[in-house]
Structure 1
């Protein structure tokens, strides 16, 4: 069955709906239409919230949540080839990226299944409170209710898993809005949940641009939790409109890896060649800046230039391709402009040539401090190398920036490593690795303009439940 024949962007109360409005899903390399997806209206969004609210009043038992999540993981493995085909087409990423992210998503659903069985409260000591000597108090954790999950284009399997998996594990109902240019992966996931036996209403799907249904999703007191991954600008809108609902916001970044004078440069080059350019640099933690102590600047820049020059950009389905297209020609055009502007003053430039949505991997040395490549999130296969006086100079530059997601620090000195870990104002510090390292079981999130809250099934399940205190007034038996 073709992608177009089985695609639908609207799943409400256990039924796939059609719609007058349509979203064309394009192959990001060829530009051909892959699918024609139903576009949700604001009224559809309200229907989805209403249905989720009704379903949330009948939360599943913990064991049933775990069973369904494990079955979803199994179904995704069984359907791997179809999921990978859709993923490569709608994202433009390599098949290796698709299969790697599919493995991650399967693992996230299995981790979420385990967390469904671990939800527990704690005993609260009251004996020291006068008049409470005979009371026994403990907490339970209960679902928050309706969760709205808004996912980005650059990780349409794993980020959806990080939002939907913990929400279902916690006993909530979910309204999922995927990025409108990569909805096919989300559709496949929702089908897996339906086939796994998830009761109607507990997972709703509304595909549409944020400008179309965003206000309807935000302006509803029945929603108790928003989990969003995307730009800082949109994150601010969600934070302002969420009211009393809790939010998890994973926003923009301009991730840095710091290279100390004693670092093993072979490791830096090898890791940056992947972490700076995988998924065409369209990863929140992609290495965008390298701050290297000035005594190693020339050596590192030359070695990176040789490595980057050997990366091949083009058709993601072709053998030997290292970097596929960006999500759109507009994104490629913007990134190329930033590279061109910075490159007028940079001492060294590799790549940066554009053909349609493809941008060849670029390396810039010493771009101007005020340039976009150093101050904004480029979300493209572009890495800039900047010399610094010492480790403290590098730390000060990172802390002065607006973003704070993750940072990498390369050094063989344990004292310097711990100094950096304690001083950097970011959500995560990776020692002898790049900013891009991410294990799905760990808490993952940022500070400053990179947002707040963390992903990771254990931590997300906790955030997506409320503590309920239970107090027993006990008497001595007669």
Structure 2
């Protein structure tokens, strides 16, 4: 609740409906949430590890019990199909359980001093893993539960407390996930959820001296701003992407087309790991484009309540951006294969051929259902195109030649490379990272846990 008596209406992106209201908390209230987390942290860190793990197991069970309720709000708030929303909750419950298991295996180490020349005999370093303190978790609209849970669970298992700033559009879903944690028995102050506009409370949260770690998923510009404001603390950033699908001459084109359509248009392209451009060898460009067109034609367009594949984008601003990128590319000579229809915030899946370096759609992240095709002479040109991007999240390579794929993968400036598969996050215990403007730090259950602790060294002398 907020003492300001101000609230934010959450509007459904695909029909005229106010889904609900969340408090528009003030800067003072955001600061109070951080202090609440700070007061609770030492008590929480003193809770035995097996009991912290037990809370996470109970949270996972409660998430599944509340799955229908939470899925309904995910659908209404962010426009996902009910099936996709339920899958997000199931994935989140699995992630919480695996985090509990992995966290119980986190241990310290002993280092003998006599392993180093000139060290005095009998010295031993006891290295423990201790929590950082208060973790600020900032999650995005496209996975309001999963990308909240993936930050909160590693923090809690390691003895940290959390201030969660969920997305405004998606706040209700995240609040319900937090309710599940409290129903599971979470002590007061261990998780604090702050809702409101980032412009009102963002600076207070990211620059607060009691915050000891920030985990953020969102836009690159915001991520850079957070880095500038953070007080010399660990910052984990999951930012934008412009993931290429490189299709070589010997690729299985049926497989490539199927994976590319799925990777580009799942959740209407509103994923940082969506395939956002195709770099295809010229000799196979025409057959691949025809397969892509046929695949796109089969996508269902409409309401998430009808289990459509392509649903309205999150808001009018997002739809305007995608429409402008398409229009500019067509004005500059790109060829429309399919799509370029709009109905409110609903953008029909669009495939463009003949995209060149001067077009914005070749470089900017659209976060919507538009896929540019760029024809290349050979793998060298494909690598040049891929690495010229400011982003470096993921890439896909489609070829039957594994050795060639591995050689190309080594040269791509990205965090992960998928071979003959679409770009995507997961499984959630795999390391997940981006380089360049795509992020900072490494996530994935084990890596996230390791980020939430620091070494504490005690030197023993026999």
Q: Partner of 2:14 in structure 1?
A: 29
Q: Give the SS at the match of 1:100.
A: helix
Map 1:314-463 → 2, pairs under 5 A:
314-319=302-307, 321-344=308-331, 345-436=333-424, 438-463=426-451
> In the alignment, what sits opposite 2:42?
57
The aligned runs of 1:74-85 (5 Å cut-off) are 74-85=61-72
Deviation at 1:437, TM superposition (A): 5.0
Contact kept in structure 2, 1:428 and 1:444, CA below 8 Å: yes
Q: Which of 103, 117, 120 is the equivalent residue of 2:104? A: 117
Q: Distance in 1 between matches of 2:401 and 2:319?
A: 39
The runs of 5 or more residues in structure 2 that have no matched partner are none
The structural deviation recorded for 1:18 is 5.9
Question: Match of 1:293?
Answer: 281
Pairing partner for 1:45 from 30, 36, 41: 30
Q: Give the 3-state SS of the residue equivalent to 1:248 in structure 2.
A: strand
Q: Count residues in correspondence.
A: 458
TM-score normalised to structure 1 length: 0.94
Q: Distance in 2 between matches of 1:293 and 1:239?
A: 39
Matched with 1:97 is 84
Instruction: Give RMSD over aligned pairs.
Output: 1.3
Give the SS at the match of 2:433.
Answer: coil
Q: Deviations over 1:183-233 (max 9, x none)?
A: 011101110111111111110000111111011112211111000001110
Q: How far 1:122 moved relative to its partner?
A: 1.6
SS in structure 2 of the partner of residue 99 of structure 1? helix
Q: For the Cα contact (< 8 Å) 1:93–1:325, is it kept in 2?
A: no
SS in 1 for 2:327: helix
Equivalence for 2:180: 192
Matched, 1:126 2:113: yes
Distance 1:262 1:19 in 2: 63
In the alignment, the residues of structure 2 paired with residue 306 and residue 437 of structure 1 have an alpha-carbon distance, to the nearest angstrom, of: 26
Question: Structure 1 residue aligned with 2:93, among 106, 110, 114?
Answer: 106
Distance in structure 2 (CA, Å) of the matches to 1:313 and 1:352 = 13
- Offset, 1:368: 2.9
> Does the 8 A contact of 1:141 with 1:468 survive in 2?
yes
Deviation at 1:19, TM superposition (A): 4.3
**8 Å contact kept, 1:22–1:39:** yes
Q: Measured at CA, do residues 160 and 90 of structure 1 come closer, stay the same or move farther in structure 2, by a change above 3 Å?
A: same
The normalised TM-score by structure 2 is 0.97
Contact 1:343 1:349 in 2 (8 A): no
Q: CA deviation at 1:339?
A: 0.9
Rounded to whole Å, the distance in 1 between the matches of 2:223 and 2:87 is 28
Q: Which residue of 2 aligns with 1:473?
A: 461
Q: Which residue of 1 aligns with 2:267?
A: 279
SS in structure 2 at match of 1:139? strand
SS across alignment from 1:317? helix
Aligned-pair CA distance for 1:333: 1.9
